[in-house]
Structure 1
Amino acid sequence: MPVVVTGSIATDHLMTFPGKFTDQFVEGQMEEVSLSFLVDDLVQHRGGAGANMAYGLALLGLGPVLVGAVGADFADYDAWLTRHGVDTGSVHWSELKHTARFTCTTDVANNQIASFYSGAMSEASMIELAPVAERVGDIDLVIVGPNDPTAMAQHTQECRQLGYRFLADPSQQLAWADGELIRELVDGADLLFTNNYEHGLLLQKTGWTDADVLARVGTWVTTRAAHGVRVEQADTAPIDVIAVPETKPVEPTGGGDALRAGFVAARQWGLGVERAAQVGSAVATAAVEVIGTQEYTLPREAFLARFAEAFGADAADEVAPHLP
């Protein structure tokens, strides 16, 4: 049964600033900010959280179904995803708007300043999951990734009504969403993903405690950048997994999406949550060592060798039969 990935589909415009943003801030004048950063380079890549996760799942052999909204400028991007094993047959094409665009500048300390134009993403709420299931067959898991807020709420409600397991990944939308919407997106999720900052923000806005959240979701995965991944479930001790060490310069954009893809793929293979977190960590490291969120590859033997170095030969032997 397929994994359906709902979420943003966008083009990424990525720039690098050869200094630190914080060196440009004037203490006591942050209420009136007017800053300009001279960047070293500009590259354009395919992106969007939904498409990034689908790409990673496809590399791992799952044949994901991508659900999102795009503009008429999507043709080349569509061909790229299809060629890499992503089912784009349920993507909605807008007649009026361009595909969403993400613009991000990263400094030497890996701090980021970004802007996001939603564009065609605002039409994602026009997509329903039932016709998707009619086209591809029974759905095993729906990833509800960052997207148009109305679409996120709608997809979550459909999952409850139709009995689909779902992964809640509110991500960037936590910053503006109120507690009511966040509770709606999270309650009943089989999996919940946040980064460390979002973990605290979710608790603050919902008024829940960690225990309250774990009573409402099956598994809560918190990504912690260089500090790895923490996996929590009710009534069990947390599991901490290291970040696989990088061997090349790091571009952090898309690392979280790659980690989610690795975790979900491993769980779909039937592996436990600790092993899934390890797979996610390894895929994330591969993703951040290249510029662009869909430029990484996962050569089987190299991936397994690196995985064994980080987590041991027994762990690699358990993963190996599932890799394409």
Structure 2
Amino acid sequence: GHDFGPYAEWMEQHRISRRHVLQLKNEFTAQAYITTDLEDNQITAFHPGAMNFSSQNQIPTDGSITLGIVAPDSRDAMIAHARAFHDGGIPFMFDPGQGLPLFDGDDLMNFVSAASWIAVNDYEAQLVQERTGLSPEELAGHVEALVVTRGGEGSLIYTNGECLQIPCARAATVADPTGCGDAYRAGLLFGIMKQLPWPVTGRIASLLGAIKVEEHGTQNHRFDWAQFTSRYQQSFGEELAI
């Protein structure tokens, strides 16, 4: 939206490319205001703004994108981007999140058939199962991996006929759970990009979620590689070698 300026500067300061960002001058950027209590119950007020037009942001076919994620967005954009990734031969993760209620069983099967990976929390996994009629094992048979996060109980990764149990990383304190799922998915994408084994990828994702939960706000946490590998060793009792 037209109020994108300050965040655009933040992206530049953190060396995040804006090459594929489409700015709409007549709209506000999407905004979410989330209230969380001590039991992690949340109330969210959301204004989609420019996100209503996100389907206008086309997936490039020039080879500049090699990995994608279809995350909560407008219904039209999620469908269009999944189709574009699939048609372009670009592997992508289906992460429906808050967008899940927008789709019926047939819609979800179209996503499952096109995606390379699926990432959901335990509630979303149950909803996908109810709407598609498929078990986690059956869903995993359509993709390279199905990842189900379970909060403090860690996560499950269904892949190659197995169900891998990923432990929860240690957090020094629990300050704010908002954004932990996004941090976890960043870890998944990092592991996929580095072609790491799923047990390692899942633990990286788990640790990123723990680091995030220790800070208020969704992007205020900081760490370097040495700190990350040290915490990985402390949390899982093994060295992270990449």
TM-score, reference length from structure 1? 0.72
Partner residue of 1:222? 148
Paired residues of 1:102 and 1:117 also in contact (CA < 8 A): yes
Write out per-residue CA displacement over residues 136-175 of structure 1, whole angstroms, 9 at most, x where no aligned residue: x442211111111101100111111111111111111112
Return the alpha-carbon distance in structure 2 between the equivalents of residues 167 and 201 of structure 1.
Answer: 18
Identity of aligned residues (%): 29
Return the alpha-carbon distance in structure 2 between the equivalents of residues 173 and 183 of structure 1.
Answer: 15
Partner residue of 1:87? 17
Q: After alignment, is 257-266 or 108-117 more displaced?
A: 108-117
Question: Where do 1:25-174 residues align within 5 Å?
Answer: 71-130=1-60, 133-134=61-62, 137-174=63-100
Classify the secondary structure of the residue corresponding to 1:146. Answer: coil
Return the alpha-carbon distance in structure 2 between the equivalents of residues 225 and 211 of structure 1.
Answer: 20
Q: CA deviation at 1:234?
A: 4.1
Residue type of the alignment partner of 1:112: Q
Classify the secondary structure of the residue corresponding to 2:77. Answer: helix
Classify the secondary structure of the residue corresponding to 2:114. Answer: coil
TM-score, reference length from structure 2? 0.95
Partner residue of 1:44? none
Matched, 1:293 2:218: yes
Question: Where do 1:137-286 residues align within 5 Å?
Answer: 137-235=63-161, 237-286=162-211
Q: CA deviation at 1:92?
A: 1.2
Q: Let me know the Cα RMSD of the aligned residues.
A: 1.4
Partner residue of 1:49? none
Return the alpha-carbon distance in structure 1 between the equivalents of residues 90 and 167 of structure 2.
Answer: 31
Equivalences, count: 242
Q: After alignment, is 241-250 or 175-184 more displaced?
A: 175-184
- Give the unaligned 5+ runs of structure 1: 1-70, 320-324
Return the alpha-carbon distance in structure 1 between the equivalents of residues 158 and 110 of structure 2.
Answer: 20
Paired residues of 1:211 and 1:234 also in contact (CA < 8 A): no
Return the alpha-carbon distance in structure 2 between the equivalents of residues 313 and 209 of structure 1.
Answer: 32
Paired residues of 2:75 and 2:102 also in contact (CA < 8 A): no
